Structures are given as structure tokens and as C-alpha cells.
Structure 1
Amino acid sequence: MIDRPIGWLRAWPRVADLTVTLSCFALSAPVAAGTAYRHQSPIAWSIGGLALACVPLVARTRRPVQVVAATVAVNIAQILLISFPGASPIPTAVAVHAVAMRSARRFARRVAACVATVLVAASLIREPGLESLWQHLAVIAGMCLAVASGDAARSRRQLLAGALERAERAEHTREEEARRRVTEERLRIARELHDVVAHHITLVNAQAGVAHHLMRTDPDHAYQALERIRDTSRAALDELRATVGVLRHSDDRTAPREPAPGLAGLGKLLDSFRHSGLDITLERVGRHAGLPLSPLTDLAAYRIIQEALTNTRKHAGPVPVRVQLDQRPDVLRITVEDDGPCAPEFGNDDAAGPGSGTGHGMIGMRERAKAAGGTLTVGPGPTGGFRIHTELPLRADRKALAS
């Protein structure tokens, strides 16, 4: 209930200043009248002086220092012309409060000290002695209280502004993080779909060519090629279903969050390419060959080999290919070499010519290697053909598996 009028007054500062001015006059008038009566001074003069001291408060938020000077001038005139009415310094205290809210702490204290000194000095000139000591102390205490309350209000306002800024920054950071995660997830799904579709469609195309070629001369082998097309298309559908399932069940913690083929299925992968015409030689070296890998590294290694062979079959045709796995304590090195021509896509992703592909496969291999903390290099082989070499670190894998 209170927050709404306070927020409305903050939105209209001039109305707020007028409200403070009228409130200050209304609350101080009875005290000024009572003090004038006790000092046997004209009540009308005291009320008029109070009103004159309250008038400058209508500009307290725009010119607080000038308002302090104006109210002090009215107080001095009251003190020197009539007896000291104790309520008259209240508008001055309100003005000092405004200075403390909108100025540095040291400056506000200096202003309050100067105001208290001037008012006490004027009062002593009017009535020398210690008869009005309590009034002097009241003036000093009032100015100290005005500075303290104004400084507290300023500190609270700064604290709320800082908290609001931090909240806005945190909200902005959360939005940026959410967008970044969405982008990463989209790229991950795009890589999976590309690898699945490119691999299986390449195999289906090769096997369909074989079946078409043998359909009239060797129906039995053509029939076998058609069976492999059926099996390959079924495998493609299964992997696509698993990949799309990641999107459909992204909020289900029990659902598999990533299709996870790995090097355990490397033999089946190589057989599918052999059926398409590639002459593949697999070599495993290193004393640590066969040790378990983390899911991320295992998937990256599988997909890199899959994409390398897919590119070879698509761009070089049925040529000899050598696949080497060198698993060491701290790194897994994968080399895929073929004896075919070097396609433009491989040499430069940005220089792919007609029929050479879009370069997405090479980009995807680099992204997979980078995601696993490794590197990937591509280029012509030492004896011709094309060579893909990647190194995937395994130290993180050991820690992950140990934990």
C-alpha cells in the first residue's frame, strides 16, 4: 500500500517537493506557535517566519545547497529580529537532509557544520550567555540527525541501485548462457544428423550402384547388395530416431541424451564401408590399445573415422584406405590415409568447388576434435592421396573413468 504512493512521488519530484514543504509546515506550525507563546513573541510573526523558511523547500531536490542558504538566511533574520522560535530551524534541517541525500558524505558534513555554527553564533549574538544552551545543543543535534538520515537514505538508494544492476546483469548473463547452450546443442545435433545422413546415404548410393551394375549379369550378388541397402537404411533410421529422441526427451533425465556409438563398433563400421568397395586396412598400435575411453572421446573418435571414410568413398571412390589407432597413456592418435585424389573440399573448406561438397564434414570433424580437447590436421598424404590425423588427449578420460 505504501510502495505505490512512494513510487508515484519519485516519478514526479516536483510534486514530492511540494508535499514535503506542506508537510514540514503543517508539522512545525504547532511547535512554532507554542514556542512563540512561551517566549511571549508574536505568534503571527513566528508562523510567518516558518512559512517563509519552508517556501525554498519546493526546490530542495534541484538546488539543495541554495535551499539550505535560503532557509539559514530566514533563520538568521528570525533570530536577530524576534526571539528564537525553536521550530524555525526544522526547514533548514530538511534542506540539509536533501544535501546529504544528493552529495558526498564529507561535503554534507561540512554543510551541516557550517549551518549549525552560523545558527548558534546568531543565537549567541542575540542572547549571550548559557541560558539557551539547550536550544544550541538541539540545533547541533538536529543538523547531525539530518546529515545522518540523509546519508543513510543515500546509501540505501545506492545499495538498491547496485542490487538492481547486479540482478539485471545476472539476468542478461543467464540469457546469454541460455542462448549459448541452445547454439551449442543445435550445432551438436546438426553434426550428428550430418554424420548419420552423409554416412548412410553414401553407403546406400554405392551399394545401389553395385546392385544396378550386377542386376543383369549376377543377380545373386545384386540381391546381396540390396540386402545391404536394406540393412544400411534400417541402421540410418535407428540412428536418426535416437538423435531426434534427444530433442524430444531433452527434459527427461532417464532418456539417453546422446547417441553413443564408439570404437567398440568400429569393426562393423569398417565392414559397411568394405561392402561399398573400400579396401580398408585397420592397424592398432600402442600398449594401451583397447582401454576404455570417456564417452565424449569415444564418440569423437568414432565419428571422425566415420566422416573420413565417408568423404573418401564419396570423393575418391573405391580406393585402398589405411586406418591406424595409436592409443598411448595420455593421447589417442587416429590416422586415416587413402590413395585417391585430394578433393578440393579437403584442402580448403572455403575453396570447395562444384561437386566437392559443402565442407560441413571437415568442419564437423574439427569441432568434434576441439570439443574433446584435441586437434585435427588434414592435407595430402606423403605418397599421394589424402591424410587425416587427429590427436585426442586421454588424461581427462582417466580421471573421469576413475571418478
Structure 2
Amino acid sequence: MPWTVSRRIPLPKDLLTDLLLVVAVTAVTVVGTAVIAGHSPPGRLPGWVGYLLLSATSALLVLRRTAPLVMMVAVLAGSLSYQALDLPGGAFTIPPAIALFSTVSAGHRIAAVVGTAVWSAGTFAVGQLQGRAPDLQGTVWFVTWLAVVLVVGEISRNRREQLRAERERVAQAERAHEEESRRRVSEERLRIARELHDVLAHSISVINLQAGVSEHLMDRDPEQARVAIGIIKQASKEVLVELRSTLGMLRSVDDDEHAFAPVPGTDRLQDLVERARDSGLDVALTLPADLPDLPRGVDLAVYRIVQESLTNVIRHARAGHARVDVGFAEGDVLIEVRDDGTGVPYGARLDEGNGLVGMRERVMAVGGTFQAGPQAKGGFLVHARLPSRSVAA
């Protein structure tokens, strides 16, 4: 059977750090204890049992992240066992100190304090039985050393919690920023979709209608067919200009050589009505003489609502007459577009297509109200009320 070489699995960063810590602590503990014991009377070394206990208590530190309580109990028990065997002192207190520090740092403060008390009491008791009880100065240093270990462990835990909380706040802020960016992109896409729909729907409807007229009159009345083709040419030119302007907003590029068309508004309603009349629809337009200057968003919304309403009349209403009324009352712009068509019978379920949905969204975007539907006396009515000083505009 051929041998296969398995792919190496990288060790987690924390585990690698703990393994390096174990190696370093084992080396310092074993070598330090041997050196100190060799230079202290009577110069007796720990022996293989002592070295085994020192290595074992150091090796247990690898569990300080995954099982800190088990690690602490095992290390402290190993340290007390080392002392109970009356082995020479030295650096054997290093593993217990790191174990207590790691336990506090992991958040087990009560367990660390209890472990410190039990280990301290055990150390003093073993020293008393073996005639090695520390004097007052040694006791003070020992207690102070343990207190410093616990305090530093608590400081480390607090610092780690602060860093974790800070990372979480940063992550939440990034998520909120991403969500806000996605929301703005989605709103911008909807706005652009409405613009493209309004730009295309009206002009394409006029072009389609006039194309049918020219085809029908090509042989019987070439002059009238030529007029229809002229209307098609003009409508296609206008839609190209508006498309270039809309796409220019997408690119956010200001090309001086190819200036974009100005955003349409109430000043172009008369042209809009004239194009609808060229399509064969009898349209009456009423505009107030004192209509104030409107914010850009509201001005554009007025134009698009009238444009889409007339487009729907031409395409769906089967109407001969339409009326467009634009007024100003109590700080609001009032828009009404009504026709005498039979596209939607009164009382029938109204299926709102892209046009009505787009008009409703435009009105809501500037804080207005919108209604549309068939009328009891016949025809279809679109009614919108827009605040002339909308913040959204």
C-alpha cells in the first residue's frame, strides 16, 4: 500500500502561544530550581521525581484557556505534592502563579481567591511540619506576591473585556454603516428605476402610437404620415436627451462637452401636454399664475406625476379627453389628472402597475399624499398633494 503524505493542519494561534508558554515555563522552572537548589545548602537537587512534578505542573498550563479551573486545581495540587515530598525549593512557585493569574483573567475570581487561600494555607502547613516555616518578612513577601498576581490578573481581564467591547462596538458600527449603505443604494436604485420608467414610458408610448398612425396613413395620406414621423423623431430626440441626463447622474460625471439636460419641472408641463395632444389626446392644462418656485424634488415630482398620468391615459384609458389641474393651496401643491376613458370600470379591482407605484413612491418621498382610481361618473382620477417646502425635497 503506497504511503500518502497528509496535509499539515495549522495550529490555532492561541494554542501555539500556550505551547510556547509551557516550553518557556518548564525550562525556567526546572533550570531555575536546579540552579537555586545546587547553590543552596545542603546543595541537594530535586531528583527525577521532582523534575517530573515540575515539568507536569508546567505542562498543565496548556489548559489555561480551555479548562482554567481544572488547570488551576491540578497545578496547585502538583505544587503541594512537590512540597510534601520535601524536595528542594527554587522556582517551583512559577507554575502556580501563572495558574492563578490565568484563572482570574478568565473571569473565575472567586475560585482564584479560594485556590490562593487553600494553596497558601497548604504551603504554610507543609513548611511547618517540615520545619521550614517562613518568618514574618517571608510571609509578608509571599502574601504580597500572591495579591499582586491576583490584581494583575484582574487588570488583564478588565483590559481584555474592554478590548472585546470596543471591537464589538466597532463591528456594530461597521454593520450599521454597511446596512445604511445598502439601504441608500437600494433607494437610489428605486429612484433611478422610477426615473427611467417615467422617461421611457411616456416617450415610447407616443412613438408607438405615432408609428401606428404613420403606418396606417402611409399610402392614403403621406403628408399626415410625415407629420407622425416628425413627432416620432422629436419624441425620440427628447427621450435620448433625458436618458443621457439620467445616466449622467448615475455616472456622477460632469462633461462640459456634452451638457446634460436640465431636470424637468413645472416649467415644462406645457411641452408635455403638447406632446400628448400630438398623440391625438385632447388635453386641457390649468396652471396657477402665481405658482412659487418649488424645491427641485417637488418640482420634478409634479412633472413626473403628470407625465406618467398622461402616459397611462394614452396607453390604457381609451380616452378622448383629459384634464390636468395644478394648483397651490395652504402651502401645498395640488395635482389632478382626470380623463373620460373606460380603462378601469368603477368598482373594479385596481391593479397598480409600475406607473402608479412609481407615482405613489415619488409623492411619499417628499412627504405628500396620493390617491388614484376610477370615478363613479366615469373616467380615472389621479390626485396628489405635495408640500411645497418638503425637507425630503
Give the shorter-chain TM-score range.
0.7 to 0.9
C-alpha distance in 2, partners of 1:185/1:155?
A: 44
1:87 aligns with 2:88: no
User: By how many angstroms is 1:32 displaced?
Assistant: 2.9
The change in CA–CA distance for 1:105 and 1:9 in structure 2 (over 3 A counts) is: farther
1:292 aligns with 2:293: yes
* Root-mean-square deviation (Å): 3.5
User: By how many angstroms is 1:278 displaced?
Assistant: 1.8
Residues 373 and 382, structure 2, Cα contact 8 Å, conserved in 1: yes
Q: Specify the SS of the correspondent of 1:44.
A: coil
Residue type of the alignment partner of 1:348 = L
The change in CA–CA distance for 1:149 and 1:301 in structure 2 (over 3 A counts) is: same
Cα deviations by residue, 1:240-272 (Å, 9 ceiling, x for unpaired): 22222223x336699989961111111111111
Cα deviations by residue, 1:47-78 (Å, 9 ceiling, x for unpaired): 85365144133233244333333333344345
1:306 aligns with 2:307: yes
* Deviates most, 28-37 or 142-151: 28-37
Cα deviations by residue, 1:267-309 (Å, 9 ceiling, x for unpaired): 1111111222222222346x9x511111111111110110001
The aligned runs of 1:49-198 (5 Å cut-off) are 49=50, 51-60=52-61, 61=63, 62-79=66-83, 81-82=85-86, 85-124=89-128, 126-127=130-131, 132-198=135-201
User: By how many angstroms is 1:236 displaced?
Assistant: 1.5
Residues 103 and 109, structure 2, Cα contact 8 Å, conserved in 1: no
Q: Which residue of 1 aligns with 2:3?
A: none
TM-score w.r.t. the length of structure 1 is: 0.79
Q: Which residue of 2 aligns with 1:24?
A: 25
Q: Specify the SS of the correspondent of 1:293.
A: coil
Consecutive unaligned residues in structure 2, runs of 5 or more: 1-9
Q: Which residue of 1 aligns with 2:6?
A: none
Residues 281 and 322, structure 2, Cα contact 8 Å, conserved in 1: yes
Residues 204 and 232, structure 1, Cα contact 8 Å, conserved in 2: yes
Q: Which residue of 2 aligns with 1:395?
A: 389
Q: Which residue of 2 aligns with 1:11?
A: 13
* Greater share of helix: 1
Q: Which residue of 2 aligns with 1:250?
A: 252
* Deviates most, 312-321 or 46-55: 46-55
User: By how many angstroms is 1:232 displaced?
Assistant: 1.6
The aligned runs of 1:31-46 (5 Å cut-off) are 31-33=32-34, 35-36=36-37, 40-45=41-46
The change in CA–CA distance for 1:293 and 1:93 in structure 2 (over 3 A counts) is: same
Q: Which residue of 2 aligns with 1:4?
A: none
- Aligned length in residues: 379
Residue type of the alignment partner of 1:201 = I
Q: Which residue of 2 aligns with 1:325?
A: 326
Residues 313 and 339, structure 2, Cα contact 8 Å, conserved in 1: yes
The change in CA–CA distance for 1:45 and 1:228 in structure 2 (over 3 A counts) is: closer
Q: Which residue of 2 aligns with 1:375?
A: 369
Residues 105 and 157, structure 2, Cα contact 8 Å, conserved in 1: yes
Residues 316 and 341, structure 1, Cα contact 8 Å, conserved in 2: yes
Cα deviations by residue, 1:119-162 (Å, 9 ceiling, x for unpaired): 34543555587x62232223223322332333344344444444
User: By how many angstroms is 1:214 displaced?
Assistant: 5.4
- Between the aligned residues of both structures, percent identity stands at 35
C-alpha distance in 2, partners of 1:218/1:83?
A: 122
Cα deviations by residue, 1:97-124 (Å, 9 ceiling, x for unpaired): 2212323334433433443344345435
Q: Which residue of 2 aligns with 1:5?
A: none
Residue type of the alignment partner of 2:204 = I
Cα deviations by residue, 1:371-393 (Å, 9 ceiling, x for unpaired): 22223211112421111111222
Residues 298 and 390, structure 2, Cα contact 8 Å, conserved in 1: no
* Deviates most, 176-185 or 76-85: 76-85
Q: Specify the SS of the correspondent of 1:341.
A: coil
User: By how many angstroms is 1:170 displaced?
Assistant: 4.1
* Deviates most, 177-186 or 37-46: 37-46
Consecutive unaligned residues in structure 1, runs of 5 or more: 1-7, 351-358
Q: Which residue of 1 aligns with 2:341?
A: 340
Q: Which residue of 1 aligns with 2:233?
A: 230
User: By how many angstroms is 1:92 displaced?
Assistant: 1.0
Residue type of the alignment partner of 2:356 = M
The change in CA–CA distance for 1:193 and 1:65 in structure 2 (over 3 A counts) is: closer
Q: Specify the SS of the correspondent of 1:349.
A: coil
